[in-house]
């Protein structure tokens, strides 16, 4: 029986399906843990395959390769270096499990399978995995380690089983996606499990972008007295070795270790947007991004995030003025490009507008111009950006925000064109806050310039699509402070109309916003993916029928 244990937490950036690449990152992290004197390295959930693998994990060939990779890693532990706990899809008796596997001395010492498969929000694990009974602990060199895989920590059942069967230490490999304020929720749940079991807990999370999800790392250790013993940084890869000792009472405790401060809300959201875009572009091998730079705040913030995530040399900003574009918008777009250092081109859409007007004149039969002509402008811009993308390979970055997408204030095949959207889950009121935050702070790891990137006038001028003379967003929408307040009630909390009105909103305005939200569902189904920020992002988090006869109450 040992009385000392050096345990490393390895939060690394994996890619779903890139088993060979994931193994290289695992090996590099193990080597670093070895240099730090670790006996055991704990990796995140499904680290071998990447998380979440979705239906990819149903392919037998994929399962074969993941299993072979685990066998290779196990064989490598014969070298006398640290043992490993790795996550991988694992077949047993014709069933596929989400597994945590202990690898030591050249073999797979033990396997434990996930019990509580999440099937809500962005999760569909019951679709691809089989739920296992609550597991007992594994024996690592005389230490009884209780393995709980991600969701197994969110309910008390697995903790209770492990505690009753003699676990001395709880270890939780995770693929826990970021959402605003989730770190506090994780910590509170971990504290509950520690209190219930009177055992210390090790929480290891991955840090990466995977399509619409981002994972923030922020791994930590709690001692049995609920005190934080170690805290890894958020938003970057990190290997952190913690030092453990068995006390005279037989209980294990972790010596005080690294404590990295966790970011505040706006900093975390900005980092989430950066990481999501960076990994999406790099892992899908785009040479860079192109976006429409209008002189407005949404495209300015999108450009700033893109430059910080990718570097100015990989960001191509295109101003596409129409006859309704103000002088101020020309100036502001040029100023954003100058401050960010991004490439800036001007391609006027007036010739396209005139060509469409001539082409459609016989069909329109002299009808009065309306939103049709406004949408043609947006679509001319979309065609322009997609042409540049096709010719040069840059991914088009959509710049719409959650407020607009909620109520359909966007044009299909126009400003909704794009391969990705960093503001898709960011309300307009937060767009303003994030712009001011970035002007005052440069995030760690950002590749953009120091200092302010968004001119003050861009932040303070009234928002406008500039598709007709003197147009303002508030001509057709409630003020954003009111709109966002109502949308948060409807989307994040599914509140009743009377309860929203009781919060101080006008009944007629709430009814109107509710109707706009419902009518725009067909547009959202055709929107590009974007970073999940809130509790309920559009997409897998919120699944509403397009054909829907249910209406807001009167």
Active site residues: 45, 114, 150
Euclidean distance between CA atoms 155 and 65, whole angstroms: 32
Cβ atoms 67, 91 nearer than 8 A: yes
Euclidean distance between CA atoms 489 and 469, whole angstroms: 33
Residues 6+ apart with CB under 8 A from 351: none
* Burial environment of residue 356 by CB neighbours within 10 A (0 to 12, 13 to 18, 19 or more): middle
| Cα–Cα–Cα angle for 88, 92, 93, rounded to 5 degrees | 160
Euclidean distance between CA atoms 118 and 174, whole angstroms: 12
Q: H or E element: which one contains 374?
A: helix 371-392
First-last CA distance in the chain:
70
Euclidean distance between CA atoms 204 and 45, whole angstroms: 8
Residues 6+ apart with CB under 8 A from 329: 294, 295, 296, 321, 466
Q: 3-class SS at 497?
A: helix
Residues 6+ apart with CB under 8 A from 248: none
| Cα–Cα–Cα angle for 230, 234, 238, rounded to 5 degrees | 70
Cβ atoms 538, 528 nearer than 8 A: no
Euclidean distance between CA atoms 362 and 7, whole angstroms: 75
Cβ atoms 235, 208 nearer than 8 A: no
Question: How many CA atoms within 13 Å lie on the side-chain side of 500?
Answer: 28
Euclidean distance between CA atoms 451 and 299, whole angstroms: 18
Nearest C-alpha neighbor of 185 from the set 129, 241, 121? 121
Nearest C-alpha neighbor of 406 from the set 500, 304, 544, 499? 544
């Amino acid at each position: 029986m040992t009385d000392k244990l050096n345990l490393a937490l390895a939060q690394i950036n994996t890619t779903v399906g890139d088993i060979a690449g994931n193994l290289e990152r695992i090996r590099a992290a193990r080597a670093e843990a070895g240099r730090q004197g670790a006996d055991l390295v704990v990796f995140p959930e499904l680290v071998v395959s990447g998380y979440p693998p979705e239906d990819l994990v149903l392919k037998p060939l994929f399962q074969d390769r993941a299993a072979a990779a685990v066998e290779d890693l196990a064989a490598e532990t014969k070298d006398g270096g640290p043992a490993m706990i790795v996550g991988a899809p694992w077949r047993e008796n014709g069933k596929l499990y989400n597994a945590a596997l202990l690898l030591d001395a050249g073999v797979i010492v033990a396997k434990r399978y996930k019990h509580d498969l999440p099937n809500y929000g962005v999760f569909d694990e019951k679709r691809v995995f089989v739920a296992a009974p609550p597991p007992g602990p594994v024996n690592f060199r005389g230490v009884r380690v209780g393995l709980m895989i991600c969701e197994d920590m969110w309910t008390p059942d697995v903790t209770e089983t492990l505690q009753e069967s003699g676990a001395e230490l709880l270890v939780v490999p995770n693929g826990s996606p970021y959402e605003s304020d989730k770190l506090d929720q994780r910590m509170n749940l971990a504290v509950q499990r520690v209190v219930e079991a009177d055992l210390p807990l090790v929480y290891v999370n991955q840090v990466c972008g995977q399509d619409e999800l981002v994972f923030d790392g922020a791994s930590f250790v709690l001692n049995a007295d609920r005190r934080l013993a170690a805290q890894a940084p958020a938003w970057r890869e990190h290997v952190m070795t913690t030092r453990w000792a068995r006390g005279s009472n037989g209980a294990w405790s972790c010596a005080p270790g690294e404590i990295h401060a966790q970011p505040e809300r706006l900093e975390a959201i900005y980092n989430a947007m950066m990481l999501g875009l960076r990994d999406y572009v790099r892992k899908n091998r785009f040479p860079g991004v192109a976006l429409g730079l209008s002189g407005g705040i949404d495209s300015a913030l999108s450009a700033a995030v893109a430059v910080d995530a990718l570097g100015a040399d990989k960001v191509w900003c295109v101003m596409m003025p129409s006859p309704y574009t103000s002088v101020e918008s020309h100036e502001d777009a040029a100023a954003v490009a100058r401050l960010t250092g991004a490439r800036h081109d001007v391609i006027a859409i007036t010739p396209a507008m005139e060509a469409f007007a001539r082409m459609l004149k016989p069909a329109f039969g002299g009808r009065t111009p309306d939103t049709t002509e406004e949408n043609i402008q947006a679509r001319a811009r979309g065609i322009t950006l997609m042409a540049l993308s096709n010719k040069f390979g840059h991914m088009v970055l959509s710049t719409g925000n959650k407020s607009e997408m909620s109520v359909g204030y966007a044009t299909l095949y126009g400003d909704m064109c794009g391969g990705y959207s960093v503001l898709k889950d960011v309300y307009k009121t937060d767009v303003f806050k994030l712009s001011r935050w970035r002007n005052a702070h440069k995030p760690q790891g950002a590749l953009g310039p120091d200092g302010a990137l968004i001119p003050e006038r861009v932040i303070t001028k009234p928002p406008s699509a500039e598709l007709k003379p003197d147009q303002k967003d508030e001509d057709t929408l409630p003020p954003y402070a009111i709109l966002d307040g109502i949308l948060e009630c409807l989307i994040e909390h599914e509140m009743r109309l009377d309860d929203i009105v009781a919060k101080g909103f006008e009944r007629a305005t709430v009814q109107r916003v509710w109707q706009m939200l419902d009518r725009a569902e067909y547009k959202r189904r055709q929107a590009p993916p974007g970073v999940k920020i809130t509790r309920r992002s559009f997409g897998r988090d919120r699944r509403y029928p397009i054909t829907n006869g249910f209406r807001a109450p009167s």
